[in-house]
Amino acid sequence: MRKNIVAGNWKMNKNLQEGLALAKELDATLKGKKVNCDVIIGTPFIHLAKVVEAIDTHKIGVAAQNCADKASGAYTGEVSAEMVASTGAKYVILGHSERRAYYHETPEILKQKVILALANGLTPIFCIGEVLAEREAEKHFEIVKSQLQKSLFELSSEDFSKLILAYEPVWAIGTGKTATPEQAQEMHAFIRKTIAEKYGDEVADNTSILYGGSANASNAKELFANPDVDGGLIGGASLSVDKFMPIIEAF
Ligand code: 13P
Q: Where are the domains of the chain?
A: 5-248
| CATH ID of 5-248, from 3.50.50.60, 3.20.20.70, 2.40.110.10, 3.40.50.300 | 3.20.20.70
| Regions of the chain where pLDDT drops below 70 | none
User: Does ligand 1 have an atom closer than 6 angstroms to the CB of 173?
Assistant: yes
Rounded Cα–Cα distance for residues 201 and 205 (Å): 6
User: Does ligand 1 have an atom closer than 6 angstroms to the CB of 213?
Assistant: yes
The per-residue pLDDT for 1 is 87
pLDDT digits (tens, 9 = 90+) for 233-251: 999 999 999 999 999 999 9
User: Does ligand 1 have an atom closer than 6 angstroms to the CB of 214?
Assistant: yes
Which helix (H) or strand (E) covers residue 111, if one does? helix 107-119
The per-residue pLDDT for 63 is 99
Q: Kindly report the average pLDDT of the chain as a whole number.
A: 98
Q: Among this protein's residues, is 96 annotated catalytic?
A: yes
Residues 6+ apart with CB under 8 A from 77: none
What 51-57 contacts at long range (C-beta under 8 Å, 24+ apart), as own/partner pairs, is 51/19, 51/20, 51/23, 52/87, 52/88, 52/89, 53/88, 54/20, 54/23, 54/24, 54/27, 55/23, 55/24, 55/26, 55/27, 56/27, 56/30, 56/31, 57/88, 57/90
Q: Among this protein's residues, is 104 annotated catalytic?
A: no
Taking Cα atoms as reference points, which of 171, 183, 177, 172 lies closest to residue 228? 183
Q: Say what percent of the chain tops pLDDT 70.
A: 100
The per-residue pLDDT for 73 is 98
pLDDT digits (tens, 9 = 90+) for 76-128: 999 999 999 999 999 999 999 999 999 999 999 999 999 999 999 999 999 99
The per-residue pLDDT for 126 is 99
The per-residue pLDDT for 157 is 98
Q: Express the helix, strand and coil content of the chain in percent, nearest 5 each.
A: 45, 15, 40
